């Protein structure tokens, strides 16, 4: 797999629908870390040939694939926009967002910190 050059500027926002560049899942962004902010164990578990650079935004997703719903933590270099495939069916979306407007989920006012 070719590695995409990391960038420090976030390309996606909370509420954006995205899909993974290499794996068959998609989701909606619920939070953004400016750089890697997970455990060393998590980072080391990624095969070295596909391990993303730490110095880039990482996104927390309410994710889905053909079999399940879950939370995911994904580097910017591994995400692509996916608003053309419609809404995400994750059951927790209504807890965080009020609905979908112009291809982006709208954050509930009470979800702001």
Q: Residues 34-77: pLDDT tens digits? A: 999 999 999 999 999 889 999 999 999 999 999 999 999 999 99
| pLDDT tens digits, 17-40 | 999 999 999 999 999 999 999 999
The pTM (predicted TM-score) of the whole model is 0.89
How far, in Å, are 8, 32, 80, 101 from residue 84 at the CA level?
26, 22, 11, 13
- What is the CA 39 to chain-centroid distance, rounded? 17
Q: What is the maximum span of the chain, computed from C-alpha positions, in angstroms?
A: 41
Dihedral of CA atoms 34, 20, 22, 6 in degrees, nearest 10, equals: -20
């Amino acid at each position: 797999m070719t590695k995409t050059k990391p960038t420090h500027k976030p390309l996606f926002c909370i509420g954006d629908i995205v899909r993974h560049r290499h794996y068959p899942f998609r989701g909606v962004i619920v939070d953004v870390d400016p750089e890697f902010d997970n455990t060393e164990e998590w980072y080391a578990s990624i095969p070295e040939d596909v391990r993303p650079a730490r110095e880039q935004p990482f996104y927390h997703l309410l994710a889905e694939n053909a079999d399940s719903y879950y939370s995911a933590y994904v580097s910017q270099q591994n995400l692509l926009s996916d608003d053309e495939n419609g809404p995400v069916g994750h059951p927790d979306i209504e807890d965080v967002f009020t609905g979908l407007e112009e291809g982006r989920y709208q954050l509930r006012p009470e979800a702001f910190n």
